[in-house]
Amino acid sequence: MSEAKIRSRDELRAHYGEQSDLVKRKVLTRLDRHCRTFIAASPFLVLASADDSGACDASPKGDAPGFVAVLDDSTLVIPDRPGNKRVDSLGNLLGNPRVGLIFFVPGMNETLRVNGRAEITTDPALLTPLAVKGKHPLSGIVVRVEEAFLHCGKALIRSRLWDPETRIDRTSFPSLGKMVADQIGGLDADEAQAHVEESYRERLY
């Protein structure tokens, strides 16, 4: 591996140069009306967390636009729907409450980043309004906002994420069941895929 490493914040800043005044000033400590509008339109976010030893995790969260509740200018609630029961993010929060969120809106290249501290709630008063099809989330992640800022669209422009022409032919890629069967060994790929499809069909909520 190359020894040309950056080892300090001073070296990092010298390598990249200074931020513009706009980049420095755009970081908010509360959610303004633009942040609220963005969250209300967002059907998808990625939640980054780390445990008390620093081991990291990034978890996708998604539902209908506006699935994240904004309680006030400093507080969000993210519903935690049924999943694979790994509870990686939730387990991390018990030892380290710091989280980073990035919200996406389909067709929009800009994103919204929110950083803060989180805790797990099972309070019915918070979870009942987040029910879908009569089913409440198993828990909620309450995020106390410390930073919020809009992020420019360069990464999504370069990736052409929303461009229909960049979509793969899904049949050219193995199914999830096939990939998991190959990775684990000893599984029947068709049975594994049937389990995946049943989960998608019956256990989204």
Residue 1: band (very low, low, confident or very high) from pLDDT cuts 50, 70, 90: low
Structure tokens at 78: 């993210």
Per-residue pLDDT tens digits for 12-61? 999 999 989 888 899 999 999 999 999 999 999 999 999 999 999 999 99
- Residue 187 phi, psi dihedral angles, 5° rounding: -110, 150
pLDDT at 83: 86
Closest by alpha carbon to 75, among 119, 37, 136, 122? 119
> How far is the C-alpha of 96 from the C-alpha of 115, rounded, in Å?
13
pLDDT at 3: 77
Closest by alpha carbon to 66, among 25, 103, 113, 118? 103
Amino acid letter, residue 188: D
pLDDT at 84: 87
Domains along the chain with CATH numbers: 17-159 (2.30.110.10), 168-202 (no CATH)
pLDDT at 53: 95
Note whether 141 and 130 are within 8 A (CB). no
Other Cβ atoms less than 10 A from the Cβ of 202: the count is 9
For the beta sheet containing 98-104, the strands, ordered from the edge strand earlier in sequence to the opposite edge, are: 56-62, 44-50, 98-104, 111-121, 139-151, 75-80, 69-72
Residue 2: band (very low, low, confident or very high) from pLDDT cuts 50, 70, 90: low
Structure tokens at 197: 């499809």
- Render the chain in DSSP notation, one character per residue: --S----SHHHHHHHH-PPPHHHHHT-BSS--HHHHHHHHH-SEEEEEEE-TT--EEEEEEE-STT-SEEEETTEEEEEE----S--HHHHHHHH--EEEEEEE-TT---EEEEEEEEEEE--HHHHGGG-BTTB--SEEEEEEEEEEEEE-SHHHHHHTTT-GGG---GGGS--HHHHHHHHH-SS-HHHHHHHHHHHHHH---
**Has residue 6 got a pLDDT over 90?**
yes
**How large a percentage of the chain has pLDDT more than 90?**
92
**Has residue 159 got a pLDDT over 70?**
yes
